[in-house]
Amino acid sequence: METAVVADTARPQLEQLLAAYSEGRISRRELEQSSGLWFGEILKELARRGLPLPRVDSRLHFNEAQRNLFERVFG
């Protein structure tokens, strides 16, 4: 079941939101709040438009201290 946001009248705004998400300019949570779509619907809409999932830079979340801990534990 699609939400009302995907209706034809919301398509231009939805196109912009999906493009911004795909490019990493907005978060999934921001897209969900702005569009009313759930994550599964977001995936469907991205695929329908041929838009890739955003790429995450893991360096922001996996710093040197975390790498050292990983190596000590699993290493």
Model confidence pLDDT, tens digit, residues 6-42: 544 467 799 999 999 999 999 999 999 999 999 999 9
pLDDT per residue as tens digits for the range 32-74:
999 999 999 999 999 999 999 998 777 777 788 888 998 999 9
**Contact criterion met (CB below 8 Å) for 18 and 45:** yes
Treating both helix axes as pointing N-terminal to C-terminal, what angle do 39-49 and 28-35 enclose, rounded to 10 degrees? 90
Tell me the pTM.
0.65
